[in-house]
Chains A and B, each alone.
Chain A
Amino acid sequence: MSLLHLAIVLPFIAAVFVPFLFKGFRSVHTGWFVLLVPLALFIYFIQYMPVTSSGQTVSQTFEWIPSLGINFTAYVDGLGLLFALLITGIGSLVVLYSIYYLAKEKEALHNFYVYLLMFMGAMLGVVLSDNLIVLYMFWEFTSISSFLLIGYWYDKERSRYGAQKSMLITVFGGLSMLGGIVLLYLMSGTFSIRELIGMSDQLMADPLFIMAMLLVLLGAFTKSAQFPFHVWLPDAMEAPTPVSAYLHSATMVKAGIYLVARMSPIFAESGVWLWLVAGFGIFTLFWGSFNAVKQTDLKGILAYSTVSQLGLIMSLLGLGAAALHFDTLDDNMYMTATIAAVFHLINHATFKGSLFMMAGIVDHETGTRDIRKLGGLVNLMPITFTIAIIGSFSMAGLPPFNGFLSKEMFLTGMISVFELDLFNLNTWGILFPVLAWIASVFTFIYSIKLVFKTFLGKPQFDKLPKKPHEAPIGMLISPLILVSLVILFGFFPNLLANSMIKPAVESILPSLTDAGQEVYVNIYFWHGFTPELFMTLGIILTGIIMYATLAKWQGIYNRIPERFTINGVYDNGLEKGESGSFRLNEFIMTGYMRSYLIYIFAFFVAILLSTLGVRDAFAIDTSNLAEIRIYEVVLALVLVAGAITILFAKSRLTSIVLLGVVGYSVALFFVFFRAPDLALTQLVIETVSVALFLLCFYHLPEISRKEERMKFKIGNAVISILVGITVTLIGIASYSNQSFESISQYHIDNVYDLAAGGNMVNVILVDFRGFDTLFEICVLGIAALGIYAMVNFRGVRRQKG
């Protein structure tokens, strides 16, 4: 186990100590101890930056289950490192923020930090694993820890609802992803992502390829809240705000993005990939931004905004796949799309993290997150306002913040679809820039709304639960660091270009860089009077006009009935599923023995008869039959008559006597069939059984003693006749198909020589197959003890009496 492995599991190890620190040092906020972990990890991972930026990678293997090809291979390349730095960097800031956000007297901090550390370790494992099974394991760890964090305030009903919803959706996706992983393994024989990338050409030709791709994408889309699986994210906002900032903006929801980027080299040659990833991405972008405008809760706006921005990154990754169809990088415009995706990923983490923290501060200081109650906070909370305005303007894509740069690159990427004559993009591709533009307008509107409705406008402090004031400085540190990064990356984007973005892009498109070509990342503000610039101007103009007239067109949001929304479908589906299975259960599990027996017999008949039919197994062979004599026929008639008359017997006494008739006829048959021991035993046992039956009959309760004939039931009759026919057919068919001789000749030959006995049946019972007899004796012994116990031990009744 190398240092790198230790770094990945360090949060898990640290989580073990959190409860002790919480109980042992009540006066210190537990968060201070926890803060050391992500800080140390961040510093540790920074050291890898020179390695990856020079194009090198680091790979360490720790053998876990080598016989199954499952090894914990930690692999650091540009993409993995980018995510690791995001996770540890924002993780430190979030822990710092949570120290001031969560009060140490009131909150169950030991739970909170255990879950948070568990999540951090899981996320690091996801982004730094080369083995797909290990990746999946960490993937589910993120689902579980996210579930625990969303349900942190478990006494609130909405928290539990949100936690359950996110769990169901992400675990559904996770399991699909596992299916995709297994298919990939079947195709290639390896779980290693790097080996899979090497085999991508061979995989393309496999019939399972598309299926594997769909399943992996299902995992990525559910985790990254792509349409229509985005519904869990807004409900996950019931989590404490540090959690929302960390999991639901910067890290966990980007796990799907990571997966798509990581698997791009394997799948991206296919046109299906491009259309699915780019198509779902662009629609999610539109749908998220469209719905964000109608939200009235600060975190609701931010949740839908996150959905929308994730769609943006996803669509860029999809279009970036087109780059693989070109041989050179010089005139490769689609490279821009991948660069934009990576750049926006970083930008989004910075501004969305700060905005969530801003929302948390507003909530903390005013007691509400409802923008209808907020307003005019600018004078009371100037620092928070600054954070909000920088974050929102960056989100809206306004200069001079980093969001502007990535938005421009995004538009460049979208416009470039026109020049591509692959996979019908030159015709249907028009949808991409159009949807992108509309979505950007809505993004502008909700970003503006977020700031203006909260901080400007008429103050209405009387509606607030608390008297608002500026937040303590500790709470402001983290968002301030994040917004300074927003500005820093805005003015000096090339700080990131070679250290972070270039190695990440090279990991996403390895086949191009392997050919010895280099990725040039050069991000700049001014690129002349390009179409993108005019699109941005159009976005700003249209956005301002639409924001001003918001009240007039807001009505369209109420046009969609609740049932047809995706939340409605989810809720209804869950409810219908539950009530449906309850009804099905009620219908099948009646509680009556008779129904269950009918199921059993019906399946018995159906399976055996259909097997007989399908296999064409029925045969009658008359060559090997014993002859029939008249007294045997008579005895058979007596037996059958006895068995059938039982059914019509009115009194129980008659049935018991008829059962005795049947039993003695069977004994007679044993005589005819040369089985003296059987006949003897049968006679004795039948006598005792009939005596027992009569005992039961005598003790029948008075109330139901009135004798009545069995009521005829057609269903019972059909089932029993079918069972009888099946048994007869099987008997005849199997007798006619005898394939080898009996082994009894051995017993006959050796009964005297080996076992010194003349009675073969008895010798078989006690010598050749004596074990059967031993346990048959056990059965009788147990039955006797059981009967004794039943008759004698009547504890319950006595206590009651």
Chain B
Amino acid sequence: MEILMSIVVGILFTSAVYLILSKSLLRVIIGTALLSHGAHLLLLTMSGLKRGAAPVLMDDITSYADPLPQALVLTAIVISFGVTAFFLVLAYRAYQELGTDNMEEMKGNEPND
């Protein structure tokens, strides 16, 4: 299962990187969202999958799933949501101010000679 999940994560990363390299700002943000999904799944996978019950204390169960990576992923989900929300509003403001969502057109015109 872990190998299968590694491959799934690899495919998520591939799509995410391809989207991040695209021109449209919205697609870039979709790419980062995909990338964080991949990272969260990878975190969970690397600690081993399905080693026991859900990590909620119950009588006569001795084997639980590892709770530590779950706590880490939970933190990561919230943070990536905060950042994504910020990015989205930033992109929305950029549309409003610049009138474009094309990254190639967002090149500052520096006065280099």
Contacts and interface: CB of A to CB of B under 8 A. Distances in A.
Interface of A: 591-594, 597-598, 601, 620, 622, 624-628, 632-633, 636, 639-640, 643-644, 646-647, 652, 655-656, 659, 662-663, 666, 669-670, 672-678, 681-682, 685, 688-689, 692-693, 695-697, 699-701, 703-704, 710, 713, 716-717, 719-721, 723-725, 727-728, 731-732, 734-735, 742-744, 747-748, 751-752, 757-761, 764-765, 769, 772-773, 776, 779-780, 782-784, 786-787, 790-791, 797
A696 B92 contact: yes
Given A699-B95, A790-B90, A710 B27 contact: yes
A573 B64 CA distance: 69
Contact of B10 (A728, A783, A786): A728
Given A626-B1, A681-B78, A692-B88, A704 B45 contact: no
A625 B24 CA distance: 40
B33 A723 contact: no
Interface in B22-40: 22-24, 26-30, 33-34, 37-38, 40
A646 B34 contact: yes
B4 to A, nearest CB: 6
Contact of A652 (B26, B37, B75, B83): B26
A212 to B, nearest CB: 43
Contact of A636 (B8, B75, B88): B8
B95 to A, nearest CB: 5
Contacts of B47: 742
Given A676-B54, A700-B95, A731-B46, A644 B11 contact: yes
Interface residues of B, number: 89
A627 B92 CA distance: 45
A591 B91 CA distance: 19
Contact of A721 (B7, B14, B56, B68): B14
Contacts of B37: 662-663, 666
Task: Give the 5 A-B residue pairs with the shortest CB-CB distance, closest first.
Answer: A724-B14, A728-B10, A720-B17, A760-B67, A731-B6
B88 A693 contact: yes
A776 B55 contact: no
Contacts of B78: 681, 685, 776, 779-780
Contacts of A742: 47-48, 66, 68
Contacts of B73: 675, 678
Contact of B2 (A626, A723, A761): A626
| Candidate in A659, A761, A787 with the most chain B CB atoms within 10 angstroms | A761
A7 to B, nearest CB: 52
Contact of B30 (A646, A672, A701): A646
A786 B48 contact: no
Nearest to B11: A640
A623 to B, nearest CB: 11
A716 B14 contact: no
A780 B40 contact: no
A217 to B, nearest CB: 41
Contact of A723 (B6, B13, B50, B102): B13
Contacts of B48: 624, 626, 742
A233 B69 CA distance: 68
Contact of B4 (A633, A721, A758, A780): A633
A632 B70 contact: no
Contacts of A692: 84-85, 88-89
A601 B17 contact: yes
Contact of A625 (B3, B66, B106): B3
A674 B30 contact: no
A754 B7 CA distance: 39
B74 A704 contact: no
B10 A703 contact: no
A782 B91 CA distance: 17
Contacts of A759: 55-57
B74 A677 contact: yes
B89 A727 contact: no
Nearest to A708: B24
B-side interface mostly = helix
A625 B65 contact: no
Given A710-B27, A752-B57, A662 B34 contact: yes
B1 A625 contact: yes
B95 A701 contact: yes
Nearest to A594: B21
B41 A790 contact: no
Nearest to A677: B74
B71 A647 contact: no
Contact of B74 (A626, A699, A761): A761
Given A592-B103, A655-B27, A758-B56, A783 B15 contact: no
9 contacts: A640-B12, A656-B30, A696-B26, A699-B92, A724-B13, A727-B42, A731-B2, A735-B46, A765-B75
A659 B97 CA distance: 26
A390 B35 CA distance: 84
A666 B40 contact: yes
B74 A760 contact: no
Contact of B15 (A626, A720, A776): A720
A188 to B, nearest CB: 50
Contacts of B30: 646, 655-656, 659, 693
A689 B14 contact: no
Contacts of A776: 75, 78-79
With most chain B CB atoms within 10 A of its CB, the pick from A593, A624, A696 is A696
Given A674-B50, A744-B66, A765 B57 contact: no
A675 B65 CA distance: 8
Interface string B91-108: 111011101111110111
A760 B71 CA distance: 9
A729 to B, nearest CB: 8
B1 A627 contact: yes
A639 B37 CA distance: 11
Contacts of B40: 666
A748 B11 contact: no
B94 to A, nearest CB: 10
A784 B17 CA distance: 27
B13 A727 contact: yes
Nearest to B33: A659
Contacts of B66: 742, 744
A529 to B, nearest CB: 70
A694 to B, nearest CB: 10
Interface string B44-62: 1111111111111110000
A683 to B, nearest CB: 11
Contacts of B108: 591
Contacts of A716: 17-18, 21-22
Contact of B17 (A695, A724, A786): A724
Contact of A724 (B10, B27, B102): B10
A738 B20 CA distance: 32
Contacts of A779: 78-79, 82-83
Given A674-B52, A748-B55, A764-B67, 20 more contacts: A591-B110, A626-B48, A639-B12, A640-B11, A643-B15, A666-B40, A675-B70, A678-B73, A688-B81, A692-B84, A692-B85, A693-B26, A703-B100, A704-B100, A723-B14, A724-B10, A728-B6, A731-B6, A732-B3, A742-B66
Contacts of B27: 652, 655, 710
B1 to A, nearest CB: 4
B2 to A, nearest CB: 5
A517 B15 CA distance: 85
